[in-house]
Amino acid sequence: MNNVLIIGYGYWGPKLTRNFSNSNYFNLHSICDLNNSKLKEAKKNYPNVKIYTNYQDAIRNNKFQLVVISTPTTTHYKIAKKIIQNKMNVLVEKPLCLNLKEHLNLNRLAKYNKVKIFIDYPFIHSGGINYVKELIKNNKYGKINSIESYREQAPIRKDTDVFWDLSIHDISIFSYLLSKKRILSIKPIIYNKKQKNFKKISIFLQYNNTNVFIKNNWDSPTKIRLIKFVFDKAIVYLDENETLYKIKIYKKLNNQFNNYSLEVPNIDLTEPLMNLINHIYYSITKNKNNLLNEKFYTNVTKTMTMIQNRL
């Protein structure tokens, strides 16, 4: 069985753990956290798992097919490096690291040790995003002209800023959806530049023939996860906060202003983390490679770095 170790059982770790425990392909074997009360909670929820306070003890005593790193962002690089050096595959929470140099170092190490690095960008595994990907691919409503993404409210973090915490979701989504297009220009705006860990940002990205506007804000009274896609013949809204009707398609009628018909399609509602886990399984065991490979992950960090250089 493909044994899994989860490192970090704070806010996001339990969500990953629940999905791994429900997986047909992986065996939730061990959980590690520095905090004893978190470990107590883990043991209560999963009585059969082994628990560790030090991940180095866990990897010394067991062979894991996959190690999941869900600790604070600034710890990812060091822990991932250690896991890869021990010849184990890793799934690292986004962001993998905060600069391209570290990402490329980890790529080199992974190649040398013949293991794979996966990054948790959950939205690219969502039914909604994959539905829109098909619309773009098959040109159903014509060309995609512009996109607006609004992502507001999230836990405020001390070790990073809103750009590396929330904008990275949008950059991963648009790198995935617009993989055939090139970025021609970038214009980011930070609203409170003097703050080290700024909370609000807008980014304009011009791809060939598609303009993208991204607005991210940690501090907001309402939680928003909304993307608007403007095609030649329809406007498509994707609201990841909706439980069932995540996609709404407004088809333009007779090319008149403000005259639309509404269609709400059925989409795959599988939890994105489960789709990610299945992707990892096929990628490791069947050596199947699709669009979500090392090149894709590196491109996301490259784009993040390009934008950061303009902040």
Q: What residues line the site for ligand NAD (CB under 6 A)?
A: 7-13, 32-35, 38, 55, 70-73, 75, 93-94, 120, 122, 155, 165
Looking at the Cβ atoms of 27 and 75, the one nearer to ligand NAD is 75
Q: 215 and 151 in contact (C-beta within 8 Å)?
A: yes
**CA–CA separation, 163 and 56 (whole Å):** 31
Count of C-beta atoms within a 10 Å radius of residue 96: 26
Residue nearest to ligand NAD (CB): 10
Q: State which residue, 125 or 252, has the beta carbon closest to ligand NAD.
A: 125
Q: Interhelix angle for 168-177 vs 294-308, to 10°? A: 130
Strands 224-231 and 144-152, sheet pairing: antiparallel
Longest dimension (CA), the chain: 67
CB 192 within 8 A of CB 207: no
Question: Closer to ligand NAD at the Cβ: 7 or 110?
Answer: 7
Q: How far is the CB of 225 from ligand NAD (least distance, A)?
A: 10
CB-wise, 72 or 265, nearer to ligand NAD? Answer: 72
- Strands of 234-239's sheet, edge to edge? 183-190, 200-207, 210-217, 144-152, 224-231, 234-239, 247-252, 260-263
CB of 32 to ligand NAD, least distance (A): 5
Backbone angles phi, psi at 211, to 5 degrees: -100, 135
CB 80, min distance to ligand NAD, A: 11
CB of 67 to ligand NAD, least distance (A): 11
Q: Of 55 and 64, which CB lies nearer to ligand NAD in the complex structure?
A: 55
If the CB atoms of residues 165 and 170 are measured against ligand NAD, the closer one turns out to be 165
Smallest distance from the beta carbon of 244 to ligand NAD, in angstroms? 21
Considering the complex, what minimum distance in angstroms separates the CB of residue 72 from ligand NAD? 5
The CA distance from 163 to 70, in Å, is 19
Residue 157 or 248: which CB sits closer to ligand NAD? 157
- Whole-number minimum distance, CB 16 to ligand NAD, in Å? 9
